[in-house]
Structure 1
């Protein structure tokens, strides 16, 4: 493991420096947690992606990465999104959602069933991600716990089967279907090449 950032820096700065030192290398969540020195390390990684535009990818972006693996593709920044959710909007969304995660149902402050005995911490999450055109309006926001926010809930929640997924894609407008196709080709480049050769 490369040298960690000097003490005295915030966890976000430590993670930024560590990713840049290890550009192109696969980093795991345990290493990133240790580098950040906080349980909020995953939030700091999201901030680096969304607010600073670091091109950090996960298994959701590339098929060669496993859950819990992160990779800074290169140093070229992507469009960044400033945090624009006011305290009032955050309070409204949490109250509207009953201070309960809208994915797994865990309530704020209770022991989370999938987080090693830690208490549930709620965040505000976008229903449609900002990178896909979603807004910071209350109708596009929901209360979501740390576990679900990081995708760990995928291990416990039922995933839709192929028939349901295909039905949803067929119902979508052609532009959205093309966006899905582009994303799949980007995630599975080798398989896409093989299919086009047939």
Structure 2
């Protein structure tokens, strides 16, 4: 089944992709995508069996998800990709964010917001309980200095949008 067929089955509902995720996670249907099987292309889905398995309980509430995404600035905490923008390491798709554990549950981590972070689907695919160290300001400045003047100006514009109160307090 592909995206067009799903859209037709859903009666043209624009939120059909969210509904597919709900069918997988909340109702227990085994719906596979290209992330699950390499023979499927993006936008193709495979229903393994029409009988759902017992659904798992969503451990992280919608409120906690929203809090973590907002706290992390809707930015992947491993690679810095921003939700909805083209992914910097995989420009074939836009960045989709998930909620990941800093210390995985299999290693004793909890669902407490302090142990959760926004992580993009590209990093999440290869995370395997890894935590990337955040670069120091010295390393970041070295990278910015190496960038072109145009890119440095773009970084400045982004920083001014992110921290407008800093500019106001200097005046």
Please give the TM-score of this superposition, normalised by the length of structure 1: 0.42
Please give the TM-score of this superposition, normalised by the length of structure 2: 0.47
